[in-house]
Amino acid sequence: MPEDSHQLDSLERRSSWENHIEQWKASGLSQAAYCRKHRLKAHRFYYWRRRLSASQDGVSFLPVALSSSLAQNHTTIRIHTPNGFIIEIEDANGSLRIEPLITGVAAL
């Protein structure tokens, strides 16, 4: 079994509930009626509706521009989040690029 099978199951579950929420919105049915029609447990439907709604509202990134001299003279990037978390990334060789860390895009 692949090491990330739990993650795949989780992603598939999330995708399934996203589809159900979208279908419910388009159906014109009440939540309870939609759940009955599709044999879903209402409490799971409510949970996923709240969870998916909260995840869309809670994450955002803003661009941050650093001058080239500032970026060259510092070896640590520190990100303070509004909820109090601090993410600190140390640069050992002076060539840190943050884009690949956040987006998975390969460094140019």
- Residue extents of the structural domains in the chain: 5-58, 68-103
pLDDT for res 49: 92
Confidence label for 95 from pLDDT (cuts 50, 70 and 90): low
Residue 103 amino acid letter: T
Q: What is the C-alpha to C-alpha distance for residues 85 and 92, in angstroms, rounded to an integer?
A: 23
Nearest Cα neighbor of 99 from 60, 69, 61, 73 is: 61
The b/e string for 32-66 (b: 16+ C-beta within 10 A; e otherwise) is eebbeeeebeeeebeebbeebeeeeeeeeeeeeee
Q: Is the pLDDT of residue 102 over 50?
A: yes
